[in-house]
Amino acid sequence: MPAGWHRRGVLAGLAAMPAMPALARRGVVATGPVQPTWPSLVEHYRYPDWFRDAKFGIWSHWGPQSVPEQGDWYGRLLYMQGHPMYRHHLETYGHPADTGMMEIQNRWTADRWDPDALMKRFVKAGAKYFVSLACHHDNLDCYDSAHHAWNSMRVGPKRDVVGIWAKTARAAGLRFGVSNHASHAWHWYQPAYGYDPEGPRKGQRYDAYRLTAADGRGKWWQGLDPQALYTGRHMVAPDEIDTIAAMDTWHAAHDGQWIETAPPGDARYARQWLLRQTDLIEKYRPDFCYMDNYELPFGPIGLAAAADYYNRSIRWHGKVDVVLTAKQLKPYARFGLVQDVERGFSDRLWEEPWQTDTCIGDWFYNRARFTDRSYKSAEDVVQRLVDVVSKNGNLLLSIPQRGDGTIDAEEERILDDLARWMAINGSAIFGSRPFHVYGEGPTQLAVGMQNEGSFKGFDTRDVRFTVKGGALNIFFLKPPRGKVKIAALGATRWPGRIERVELLGGGEVTYRHGAEALELDMTAGPDIVPVVRINGRGIEPARNGGSARALVPTASRAPLPV
């Protein structure tokens, strides 16, 4: 896409938004050298050293959808008759025509939340940055929002959740981030305007369809407009649907898509999203902002939000020293943001820093993960961290909290196991850079997002590398027992000079640097990802991997598969 054409298109889009010039004049959108165009984002962006060094972050993906303890997307699926979450809601809270998601939001009490104690655990587990969910698709701002009345100061906890997390994380020495998922609320919430197509309450519209601000008189939500929460009738199912299967098909075809545009005929929603986003950035000055979007939402509005964030960073730090993530970046966008690969893998060493995000269970707390012991183990987490870091990436890991703010005993055990591994091996992760090859082994990773479920596990021959302080770190993703050979470090492929080989947390390792392979005696070692460190000469990081400067993409440079 020619830069000039794209710039003209973006500026034309901005001009079509009546509120945009006024927002800039009033200082709501920060002005500066960064313009709301992809070429300008690429020109001014630099990957911060703090992010390149951090490698591992922990995410509190926590909000009102944690209350039912049923897992992800409760606020949408409770409105879909036949779904297990609909059944749970009917049995636990009542029919969604009477009791909907707004009532669940007010049940989010956070009454046992101890952010200081949790942060201490996260720091011991190795976190170098911490991310707070600011607003999910359920459209509740978990902070002191100036532009959205449905926020955690008025609903649920009656506390500034993001502000408390920010203070706690920074006091612990961590970089602080936020995540914004609200751009999808308008299509995600449309089933709340639906109805049961079958059964005793067939055809009775759910709460979003019938409630107005006037209905709140004398109730806990007096002064709040449910339509501001549920976003309005943008894709409402027609009256004539009479089977559950037909209703599911209708939603899948209409509001069940991942839509990055504004609601049809409703530019106000996108402008309001921008007000909320810039307020969030200015209030909490995050070092990191996760956008749950393929590229940026709402076309020129999303670009304005990115430019605003970068220009504010220049005011705060004298340079762009923040991280803004998005997904599925095309070539023209690839070096203007940090690319995020949600719950997925890469099969190659990236030229620029990137991130994968995942969770030890469901994004929102699911009690079944505890009862059936189906969380990711500490070994699973370390393997993912090592694989990603060896390929020039970071891992952002969510630890789900209950609605009251606590984590369960199994999550505590996983964090404690991570802390023990980090205490011995963290020096091979933090502040490291990729080697000229990321590693070797027989396991072929399926490239892409949302593909963790098909992963079958690593092999004892799968190894990964990092470089730090002139030393080469070798990670064995599954602990081998006995003698192992690493072909990538054979003298004909890597003519470095080895002076000492040691097992971190152990002693020296017997080795032979042959022409075809480096042979190591790994008879002894820990049960989770042992790390061998080589000191010597000729150990250098990858020439391009981890470049702090955003590289201007050329016409021939294809996007990395994600």
Residue 210 forms part of a structural domain = no
- What's the pLDDT tens digit per position in 370-390? 999 999 999 999 999 999 999
Q: Which helix (H) or strand (E) holds 282?
A: helix 267-284
For residue 283, give the nearest of 156, 141, 106, 110 by alpha carbon: 141
Give the domain extent around 320.
31-70+109-181+262-428
CA 225, chain centre distance (Å): 30
Helix (H) or strand (E) holding 56: strand 56-60
417 and 458 together in one domain: no
Res. 418: pLDDT tops 60: yes
Q: Please tell me the distance from the alpha carbon of residue 335 to that of residue 550, in angstroms, as a whole number.
A: 5
Dihedral class, residue 474 (left if φ above 0, else alpha if ψ from -120 to 50, else beta): beta
CATH number at residue 349: 3.20.20.80
Residue 555 lies in a domain: no
Residue bearing tokens 């896409």: 1
CATH number at residue 515: 2.60.40.1180
On whether both 137 and 282 belong to a single domain, the answer is yes
- Which of 407, 408, 388, 404 is CA-nearest to residue 396? 388
Assess whether 311 and 447 both reside in one domain: no
Is the pLDDT assigned to residue 306 strictly greater than 70? Answer: yes
CB-side exposure of 397: number of CA atoms within 13 Å? 28
Give the pLDDT confidence of 73-99 residue by residue, as tens digits: 999 999 999 999 999 999 999 999 999
Contact call for residues 98 and 201 (beta carbons, < 8 A):
no
Domain boundary among 377, 408, 428: 428
Asked if residue 168 and residue 47 are part of one domain, the reply reads: yes
Q: Is residue 24 part of a domain?
A: no
Q: Which residue has the tokens 């470049």?
A: 547
Distance CA 249, CA 360 (A): 31
If asked whether residues 270 and 128 sit together in one domain, one would say yes
Q: Are residue 448 and residue 480 in the same domain, yes or no? A: yes
Mean of pLDDT over the chain = 92
- Asked if residue 336 and residue 443 are part of one domain, the reply reads no
DSSP-derived 3-state class of residue 106: helix
The string of DSSP letters for 160-194 reads -HHHHHHHHHHHTT-EEEEEE-GGGHHHHTGGGG-
Same domain, yes or no, for 284 and 381?
Answer: yes
391 and 495 in a common domain: no
pTM of the model: 0.93
Same domain, 124 and 49: yes
Specify the DSSP class assigned to residue 380: H
Nearest to residue 550, comparing CAs of 332, 347, 345, 285? 332
**Cβ atoms of residues 343 and 455 within 8 Å:** no
Token pair of 367, please?
A: 């009690």
Percent of the chain whose predicted confidence (pLDDT) is above 70? 92
Q: What is the pLDDT of residue 545?
A: 59
196 in a domain, yes or no?
A: no
Query: Number of C-alpha atoms within 13 angstroms, CB side, residue 205?
Result: 13
Q: Give the C-alpha separation, 197 to 118, whole Å.
A: 44
* pLDDT at residue 42, as a whole number: 98
- 36-40, 244-248, 546-550: the lowest-pLDDT one: 546-550
Domain match, 281 and 392 both: yes
**Tally of domains in the chain:** 2
With a cut of 50, say whether residue 560 has pLDDT above it: no
Last residue of a domain, one of 376, 394, 428: 428
DSSP state of 426: G
The label of the residue with tokens 């067939």 reads 202
